[in-house]
Amino acid sequence: MTAERTFRKSIRNKIFFVSLLPVIALVVVATINSRHLDSLGRSAELIMSRNYGSIKAAQKARQAMEDNRTKVTRFLFEKDPEVLADLPTATLEEALLACGQHIAETGEQRLVTSLLDTFESYRETLARLSSPAPEAHIEEFFNLTQLLAAELNQLVELNELGMERAEQETRELGQRAQRHSLFFLLGTIVWIVLLNYALSFQVARPIRALARQLAATRQGGERYPAMPVLSDDETGLLTEEFNRLFKNLAAYDRHNAAILAAEREKVRHAEEAKTRFIADLSHQLKTPMTSLVMGVNLLHEKRDRLSAERIAILLDTARDDCSRLAQLINELVDISRLEGVIRPAVRERLNVADLIRESLKPLRQHAEEKGVELVIAIAPDLPPLQLDSMRFPWVITNLVSNAIRHTRAGGQVELAVERKDGWVHFSCRDNGCGIEPHNLPRIFERYTQFSEREKLGTVGLGLAIVKEVIEHHGGDITAESSPGQGTLFTFWIPESGEESHAARPDHR
Residues 365 and 336 in one domain: no
The gap from C-alpha 341 to its chain's centroid, in whole angstroms, comes to 45
Residues 182 and 71 in one domain: yes
DSSP one-letter code for 230: -
486: left (phi over 0), alpha (psi -120 to 50) or beta: left
Q: What is the CATH number of the domain that holds 28?
A: 1.20.120
Q: What is the CATH number of the domain that holds 440?
A: 3.30.565.10
pLDDT of the residue at 273: 66
Query: Where does a domain end: 308, 340, 372?
Result: 340
Residues 386 and 330 in one domain: no
Query: Is 390 inside a domain boundary?
Result: yes
Residues 351 and 329 in one domain: no
Rounded CA separation 381/353 (Å)? 10
Query: Is 172 inside a domain boundary?
Result: yes
Query: Is 84 inside a domain boundary?
Result: yes
Residues 317 and 360 in one domain: no
Query: Is 239 inside a domain boundary?
Result: no
Considering its fold, how many domains does the chain have in total? 3
Q: Let me know: does 65 contact 57? Beta carbons within 8 Å.
A: no
Residues 125 and 248 in one domain: no
Residues 147 and 194 in one domain: yes
Residues 51 and 177 in one domain: yes
Query: Where does a domain end: 207, 236, 265?
Result: 207
Q: What's the helix, strand, coil split of the chain in %, to 5?
A: 70, 10, 25
- Give the dihedral sign, CA 250/251/254/260: negative
pLDDT of the residue at 356: 92
C-alpha pair distances (Å), 497 with each of 148, 346, 379, 396, 471? 133, 12, 19, 17, 11
Query: Is 213 inside a domain boundary?
Result: no
Query: Where does a domain end: 207, 227, 259?
Result: 207
Q: What is the CATH number of the domain that holds 285?
A: 1.10.287.130
Residues 275 and 419 in one domain: no
Residues 353 and 326 in one domain: no
Tens-of-pLDDT digits for all 508 residues of the chain? 444 555 556 666 767 776 776 777 777 777 777 776 666 666 655 555 567 777 888 888 888 888 878 877 877 777 766 766 666 677 777 877 877 777 777 887 888 888 888 888 888 887 777 676 667 777 887 888 888 888 888 888 888 787 777 778 777 877 787 787 788 778 878 887 887 777 777 777 777 777 777 777 665 555 676 777 766 667 777 777 778 887 888 888 888 888 988 888 878 877 776 776 676 667 567 667 777 787 788 777 877 777 778 778 878 777 877 877 776 677 666 656 555 554 556 678 889 999 999 988 888 888 888 899 999 999 988 899 988 887 888 889 889 988 998 899 999 999 999 999 889 999 999 998 888 888 888 888 776 665 454 444 455 667 888 898 899 889 999 999 988 899 999 999 998 766 544 455 655 4
C-alpha pair distances (Å), 29 with each of 38, 63, 184, 211? 14, 48, 7, 41
Q: Could you tell me the residue range of the domain that residue 499 belongs to?
A: 345-508
Query: Is 403 inside a domain boundary?
Result: yes
Residues 377 and 290 in one domain: no
Task: Specify the amino acid at residue 314.
Answer: L
pLDDT of the residue at 478: 94
Query: Is 228 inside a domain boundary?
Result: no
Query: Is 435 inside a domain boundary?
Result: yes
Residues 269 and 288 in one domain: yes
